């Protein structure tokens, strides 16, 4: 059965909007491999019970698979967290919140452009006014080739600035305005999604440089805020079957989707296939949980062994 019509509440920065909407899940959420939405109505575990989790980039790029941000938001909710789904596309953030509520979880949607400090300040204020605390900040926003990335001699200043603002400055801004709450409560977990492109061979300069910057940002937070009980870790997805990775390459290269998928699968040592957004989401749930309470400052590749293959 499809999820029944549901009611969910949308939160925009500086305004409160109640929206009634009949929701039917896209086909890729109605059926699929283990880990997809399927017919599940309840949360399978409670490792994040009573946690307030902000997922930045919780919307969805159009495509036939699920993105990392949406999968992580759903996985957090299944683990018991109350999720704040943040995206610049309010409709997409609201859809993610609707999926969580349809399963019996707790979620609200917030519209915010993370390159705007004023929008981040307003978002954090709303979360604190609603929940009174923030336990998890998961930063999942990023852009690559679609933003005009190119080798260093070919990239425009405008393209470099676009990627730097979104991939790095935006994460810095969310951390800047969430960390005071975590420091005051003497607990919290920051998860920043970087990429194996920071270390692997990668043809374009801005994505690689900004994702390496995310690692530096995360290490700085881990060391600076450890005395306040706040942890910070980076997740480095490798070749993952997401709309942003696949559909963007189809548009940019003109190759058939099947060829793009086959080429990427062939580059992964483990089972010869890309990972899914659920692989990234499950890593995030673990790092956000108290089971990882003594883990901070790490860079966790989720890549099927691709980085290990580089070797010395």
Of the residues 8, 199, 207, 225, only one is catalytic, namely 207
Cα gap 200→262, rounded to integer Å: 20
Does residue 159 contact residue 149 with C-beta atoms inside 8 Å? Answer: yes
Residue 207 annotated in active site: yes
Unique residue bearing structure tokens 């040592």? 269
Per-residue tokens: 45: 């575990």
How far does Cα 144 stand from its chain's mean position? Answer: 15
CB atoms within 10 A of CB 176: 14
Q: Are strands 15-21 and 6-12 parallel, antiparallel or unpaired?
A: antiparallel
Unique residue bearing structure tokens 């683990």? 79
Does residue 96 contact residue 73 with C-beta atoms inside 8 Å? Answer: yes
Kindly write down the DSSP assignment for every residue of 196-257, as one continuous string: GGGTS--S-HHHHHHHHHHHHHHHHHHHHHGGGTEEEEEEEE-SB--HHHHHHHHHHH---H
Cα gap 250→288, rounded to integer Å: 34
Q: Which residues are catalytic?
A: 207
């Amino acid at each position: 059965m499809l999820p029944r019509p549901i009611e969910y509440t949308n939160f925009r920065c500086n305004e409160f909007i109640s929206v009634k909407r009949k929701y039917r899940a896209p086909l890729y959420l109605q059926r699929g491999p283990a880990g997809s939405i399927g017919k599940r109505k309840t949360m399978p575990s409670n490792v994040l019970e009573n946690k307030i989790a902000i997922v930045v980039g919780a919307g969805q790029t159009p495509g036939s698979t699920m993105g990392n941000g949406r999968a992580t938001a759903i996985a957090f909710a299944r683990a018991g967290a109350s999720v704040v789904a943040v995206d610049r596309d309010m409709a997409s953030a609201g859809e993610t919140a609707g999926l969580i509520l349809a399963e019996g979880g707790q979620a609200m949607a917030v519209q915010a452009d993370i390159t705007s400090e004023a929008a981040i300040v307003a978002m954090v204020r709303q979360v604190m006014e609603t929940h009174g605390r923030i336990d998890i900040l998961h930063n999942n926003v990023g852009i690559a080739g679609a933003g005009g990335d190119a080798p260093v001699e070919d990239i425009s200043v405008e393209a470099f600035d676009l990627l730097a603002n979104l991939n790095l400055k935006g994460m810095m801004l969310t951390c800047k305005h969430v960390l005071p709450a975590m420091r005051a409560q003497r607990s919290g977990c920051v998860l920043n999604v970087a990429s194996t492109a920071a270390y692997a061979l990668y043809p374009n300069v801005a994505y690689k440089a900004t994702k390496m910057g995310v690692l530096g940002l995360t290490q700085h937070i881990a060391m600076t805020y450890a005395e306040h009980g706040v942890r910070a870790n980076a997740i480095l997805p490798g070749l993952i079957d997401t709309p942003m990775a696949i559909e963007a390459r189809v548009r940019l290269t003109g190759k058939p989707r099947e060829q793009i998928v086959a080429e990427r699968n062939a580059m992964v040592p483990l089972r010869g296939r890309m990972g899914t957004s659920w692989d990234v989401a499950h890593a995030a749930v673990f790092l956000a949980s108290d089971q990882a309470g003594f883990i901070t400052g790490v860079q966790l590749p989720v890549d099927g062994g691709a980085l290990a293959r580089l070797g010395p």
